[in-house]
Amino acid sequence: MATKYYIPFYDLDGNACQIDFGFADYIGDPIQLEGGANPLTISYNGTPDDLFQQIITSKASIVINYHEQFLNDTRDIDDKDVSVNIQYGNNLKWVGFLIADLRAETFDQTGYEVELTCGEPCSYLKGLQRDFLQETDIYGFVSLDTLIRELF
């Protein structure tokens, strides 16, 4: 997916970070969005008791200032239609998808902020109908290719 929108920002230590939103059919220069006062929060949905849990999911909450074109482009999407890549310096730190139904908009005196929620690919495995598990090898294992195809 090609980056259509991006949000550059700095963390509290002054390190450069960037959030990229990818769209499948986009061709053109990326459009810069303005992040909110606290543009990014990544949370992990696990506890120390989950050490042996197969899937510990995470999510990213991204706050942007109002941008009409972005909101129109993401209004009628499905999950996994818009990829989200979070870079810290030159390193890719988090990969996921914009969750279509989870958007909160805040109206106040300082501006119009929109909070977006993003889920990482493994979170889509929880509760998934495992029809793809029929594609096992002679030992009963699912191939990495099949698993990746299901996630993305």
Q: How many residues does the chain have?
A: 152
> Side by side, which strands form the sheet with 35-44?
31-32, 2-10, 16-23, 82-88, 91-108, 111-119, 58-65, 35-44
Between CA 152 and CA 145 the distance in angstroms is: 11
Q: Could you list the pLDDT tens digit for every one of the 152 residues in the chain?
A: 899 999 999 988 899 999 999 998 899 999 999 998 899 998 887 666 665 665 667 889 999 998 889 988 888 888 788 999 999 988 999 999 998 776 656 555 556 888 888 888 766 555 555 554 555 555 555 666 666 666 65
Q: What are phi and psi of 122, to 5 degrees?
A: -65, -25
Q: 40 and 59 in contact (C-beta within 8 Å)?
A: no
- pTM score > 0.85 for this model? no
Between CA 103 and CA 118 the distance in angstroms is: 10
